[in-house]
Chain A
Amino acid sequence: MGLSPRPQSTPVHQGGDEPWVATRLDFLVNWSRANSLWPMPFGTACCAIEYMATAAAKFDLARFGMERQSFSPRQADVLICAGRVPFKLAPVLRRIWQQMPQPKWAIAMGACASTGNMFDNYAVVQGIDCIIPVDVYVPGCPPRPEGLMYGIMMLQEKVMRERAADVSLRNEMTPDPTSKLYIPPSLIDEISEPFGNSVHQQRSGL
C-alpha cells in the first residue's frame, strides 16, 4: 500500500494534521478480503487432522486472518476440502459450495481432494474439481501445515490480483454445451483413462 508523504497543497484535504492514504479501490478491497479469509473446513479424512494442526496454536492460522473457523457455509469465504470425497458426499459438497456467498474461493487440500489419489475406485470422486471450481491445489498425502499455509498464501496472492471490474470472476456458470470450451462427458471419459494396468482391473482376475 502506498503511504505517500502529505503534499504541500491538495484539493482533497486541506488543513488539519491527520495522515491520509491514497490507493486504488481494487487494492483496498482485495487487501481486506485476502487478509480476512474465513475458512469453511470440509474435513473428511486424515487431511483434516493436518488442518487442525494448522489451525492450532503451533502453526496458528489466525496469522492469516483466519481466526474464525466458519462452520456455517453462509458466513464463509474459502472452502477448504481436506480429504477424499466419496460419490455419496458429492451432492453435499456441491450444496455447501452453493450456500457460500460471493466472493468465495476453494482450496483442494491433499492428493485425494485434488485428484482422488490412489482411490481410483468405484466410490471416490476423482478430484473435487469435478463438482466445484478450485482455486488452489495443495499436494501432499497429507500436506504438512507448512504446505497448507503456502497454499493459503498463494490464494491470498490470487485474491490480491483480482479486479473488481472483472465481473466474470463472480459468475457462477453451469456447463454450456454450445461453448467451444465445453468438453463432452464422453471425451472426459476418454482422456481420463488411467495409465498402467489398472484400466480394466477386476478384483478376481476372472
Chain B
Amino acid sequence: MTLGTGNREPGTGAESSEQRAASSLRSPFPVPGSRFAGTALLYITLILGAAISLFPLFWMVSASLMPTGEASTYPPRVLPSRVTFEHYGALFTRLNLGRYLLNSAVIALTVTIASLAVNSMAGYAFAKLRFRGRDRLFRLLGAGLVLPTQVAMLPLFLLMKQLGLINSYWGVIIPGLSSIFGIFLIRQYAQSIPDDMLDAARIDGASELRIYRSVVLPGIVPILATLAIWTFLATWNDFMWPLIVLSDESHYTLPVALANLVGEHVQDTELMMASSVLTIFPVLLVFLFLQRYYIQGVMAGSVKG
C-alpha cells in the first residue's frame, strides 16, 4: 500500500552506470546515431515540451502583472515593463471576485468531503460485503459510465426546479455527491483489505459501522487522498452544470463568473489574466502539494480498472 514514487527513477536505485548505459540500448525510444547525440536530442525535445506546457501559464501570470494596455501592444510583450498588482486589487474591489472565490471554495470543499463519505461506504460494501444483487447492481453502475452526463442535464434542471434548488449551492452540490468513478476507485482498492481482519473485528463484536470507521477507512487512506484531490479539482473546474443551475450572479462559481466577465471585459487583457490566475491558483496549489497521491491514483486506477 505504499505509494513511493522514487524507486522507479533511474539513479536512485542500486543500478550501476554501466547497467544503465546498457539498458538504454534496449529503450523503446528510438535513439538515433551516437548515444550522446541521441541523449542530447531527447533532452532538447523534453525541454521544448516543458516550455510549451508551461508557456501559456507563464504568460498568464506575466500579463496579469502588466500595466493596463501593455498586453495589447505590438510587438507583443512577454514580460511586464514594470510589475503592478493593481489588477488583483481591482478583482476584489470592482469585480467582486472574492465572492465567487468563496462560492467556489464552499461548493468544492462540501462536495469533496461529503462525496468521500458516500463513495467510500459504497465502494467498500461493493468490495467486501455480500448482499443479494451486488454484482448485478455493480454492472449496472458500470454501464452508467458510458452515459454522457449532458444527457441527464435537461431533466435534472427540471427536477432541481421542482425541488427549489435552482440558483443555490445545493443545486451544484447534490448531483456531485456520488460518482460512479469514485465508487469504482474505492472498490478496487478496498478489495486488498484482508477478510481475516474484518472477520476478527466482527468476532470481537464490533458493529459494521465501527469496522468501517476503524478498520476500513484507515486502510484505504491513500485512495481516499487520491479521490479527494480528484473530486476537488473536478468540482472547482466544472463549468457546464454550474453555468446552467446558477443563474444569479451572487452564486456564480469562478469559472462561470470568468466566462461571463470575458464578454464584458475582453479588451481588459491584464484584468482577465489576473482573474484567470485567481481561478487557477488554488487548484495548482492543491496539485503541486499533493501530486504524489494524484498522479499515482491516475496511473493505478485506470490501468487495472
A binds B: no
